[in-house]
Structure formats: C-alpha cells, structure tokens
Amino acid sequence: MERVIGTPPDLCERRTNLESSFLTFYQKLGYKVQRPVSIYPSVDETTLFVGSTISVLKKSLGTNADLREGICLVQPCLRTQPRRDLANMAYIPDYNSFFHQAGILTGSGSYKEVCDTAFDFLTSLLMIQPEFIRVQTSSQFPEISDYWKKRFPNNTIADSHPQNYYKWRYGEDGLTGVGITFSVRSNLISEYRDIGNVIIMSKDTKETAIEWGFGIETLLSRIHGLPKPQSASRICDFVSFEPGPKEKFLDALVASIEMLKSDIRPGRSGGEKQILRDHLKVVHFLGRKLNIDRETIKNLIDQYSIDCNSLDISGRILELLQIRDGKLNEYMENVPKVIGSCKSSGAKVEDKLRNLAGRLGLWAIETEEVETL
C-alpha cells in the first residue's frame, strides 16, 4: 500500500493553505470566524453527527447581529451512509464520509454579494480560470438564476438536473433553500465536477440567510485533476488511492477512527454505536478480502491519527477487529452443527443459519463467504 505516484506531494500543505486562505479571505471582508466543533455530539438537534457547516451555523439564524457581520468556518464533518450501502460492497460512494467543509452564513438580501465574493475567491485567490467554472442553476427560481445568466452567460447552465438538485431541506419545519452549484474542471480532466453551493435559505417562504460552502478535499481533487475527493484527503498522505474496494475500506477506516476519537463505542443500541459498529464491519470484511494484514492497518491508523496517539486508536480498532474474527470463527464452527440438526429435525438450513448470523451480528455477505468455503 505505497503512496500514489503523481499525487501532488504537498497536498497536506495545500489543504492547510486552502483552509487558512478561506478564513483569512472572509475575515478581511468583516466576517467573524467561528471555531469548529467536534463531529459528535452534534450541535444540531436534527442530525446525529455534524455533517456540514450549516449544522454549526444554523443556531445563528435568529441572531441578527452575527448575520449582519457574517460568519465563516472550516468544520470537520461526518456524513454516514445507509446500512444497505455500507453492506453492499459493490457500492462505492462518490464523496468521503469524513471530510472538511468551508462555509459562510450571512444575512438575507446579500445573495449577489455572496455570489461575487465566492466567484472572486475561486478565480482571484485560487487562480481557477473562469472558463474552468460552470454555474448550475434552475430557471424555475429566477432569484438564483437571473444574476448568473447576466454575469456569466456562457458558463451558466440551467435545468440540466432534476429540480430537487437545486433545493435543500434543513431538518426543521419550514426551513428550506434553493441555490446554485459551482462545478469546476482542471487542465488535466475536461469533465466539470461539482464543488460547492450558494443557497438562499428561507423560513416559511421568507428569505432568512445566505450560505455558501464547499468541501476542502472535493475542491482540491477537482482543481488538481485527481479522481475522487478521497485522493486529496489526509489518509492518502500515507497510502495510495485506488478506486473500488480499497477506496471503500479506507473510507470506512477513517470514519471509524474519527468516531472513536469522539469517544463513541460500537454497540447494538444507540444510533452512533450502531453506525460505528457497521463501519468496523466494512473494515473487517474488506481488510480480509483485500489481504491487508493487521500490522499494515495498525501502521496506517497510527500515521493518520498521530495527533491523538495517546488515545491508542489503533489498539482499540485492532481489538474490535479481533472480536469480529471471533464472531466469524464461531459462525464457521457452528455451520456443520446447524446443518446436522436440520437434517434430523427437518428445519430449513437457511433459516437456522440466518438466525445464527443475526445472533452473532454478521452481515449476509460475511456468511455467504463462509458457506462457499
């Protein structure tokens, strides 16, 4: 698992510079810098984890003084996948589960100003050529599209997606948003790919605030022509990016590390415990499938979490993987007994094995592998 050749060797520095440049840029415009919070417990009661900057900034919607100045933030985020997607080893997410998002929130009536400063940030500060940017918008919402059709007509694309693409919900009754999406390309890849949004937020149809944000890893991967946001993330400072199962393995491993850093423990009760448990199942299954030995996993975890080695994250994950080994071995040992008892009792083997797997907390894909041995 060596580092990928061709990835910019200073991506770590570029991530740091992008974060600090964003905050400095908006601080000079009079925005107040908000300190990031832990991904868990969420400060937003509508989410289990902090999954975006708005989860942190939403509390300021009723604070007119803060919104007049504007607030900016770079926030670590965790967006977890549904269990059915985690358990489907053929499903590979397009974006990282754990990522960093840069975002701002400011008062109503400032849509054009936010669009101007966002475009200036991308083109003047980050030096992205204007022709490498596209604005995805909807003619159904002239409040977001008219400005761009006048300012940037050749690169503004209307109605190329279903209407839900331009709409947002925030988990609260009456709080919604409509917005545009910036897409960029690099001089290495001609495809335009989404990087972030400017959104008009409304409460009960009344405009309340404007937000703009982008994923740090996503933007870096786009402007450097890298295949996926994961290839610009911290984990790929230590190991090469490979699309497919290894990509899913690394995504689940990083999410597991970050949940353990937030002092979550795996278990069957409690949403966050179950989510950690499911991510560790992916690490366990794909680690075995890809023949990644435990020493390699330990070294990778230690490198990634060097800032919190006192928590012994690698030791805790290896211990949890060993527990998974024991569950799988117990299942394997009991398969012949179950088959034998079903022959004498007439019970269905499939039902009994399914019950055994459920008792041990194993996914079907794990037991299917055992039964084909």
Whether 240 and 229 have beta carbons less than 8 Å apart is answered as no
Calpha distance 289→280 (Å, rounded): 14
Query: Under DSSP, is residue 36 helix (H, G, I), strand (E, B) or coil?
Result: coil
pLDDT on residue 68: 80
Query: Under DSSP, is residue 138 helix (H, G, I), strand (E, B) or coil?
Result: coil
- HSE-CB for 302 with a 13 A CA cutoff: 8
pLDDT on residue 29: 96
The rounded percent of the chain whose pLDDT value lies above 90 is 75
Domain 11-232 - what CATH class? Answer: alpha beta
Mean pLDDT rounded to a whole number for the chain: 91
Whether 92 and 243 have beta carbons less than 8 Å apart is answered as yes
pLDDT in tens, 69-123: 899 999 999 998 888 899 899 999 899 999 999 999 999 999 999 999 999 999 9
pLDDT on residue 268: 74
- What pTM value is reported for the model? 0.92
CATH 3.30.930.10 boundaries in the chain: 11-232
pLDDT in tens, 35-84: 999 999 999 988 999 999 999 998 888 765 568 889 999 999 999 888 88
pLDDT in tens, 230-279: 999 999 999 999 999 999 999 999 999 999 999 998 887 779 999 999 99
User: Would you call 348 exposed, middle or buried from its count of C-beta atoms within 10 A (0-12, 13-18, 19+)?
Assistant: exposed
DSSP class of residue 60 equals G
Q: Tell the residue number behind the tokens 């600090």, with chain if given.
A: 20
pLDDT on residue 366: 85
Which helix or strand (DSSP H or E) is residue 200 part of? strand 193-203
Please check the confidence at residue 373 and state whether its pLDDT lies above 80.
no
Whether 77 and 100 have beta carbons less than 8 Å apart is answered as yes
Q: Tell the residue number behind the tokens 């545009």, with chain if given.
A: 180
Calpha distance 56→69 (Å, rounded): 16
The token pair at 241 is: 């990016």
DSSP class of residue 208 equals E
Angle (CA) 305 310 314, round 5°: 50
The token pair at 315 is: 């030791």
The rounded percent of the chain whose pLDDT value lies above 70 is 94
Nearest to 211 by CA among 78, 48, 34: 34
Spell out where 79-163 has E strands: 98-107, 133-137, 156-158
pLDDT in tens, 131-143: 999 999 999 999 9
Q: Tell the residue number behind the tokens 């966002």, with chain if given.
A: 118
pLDDT on residue 170: 94
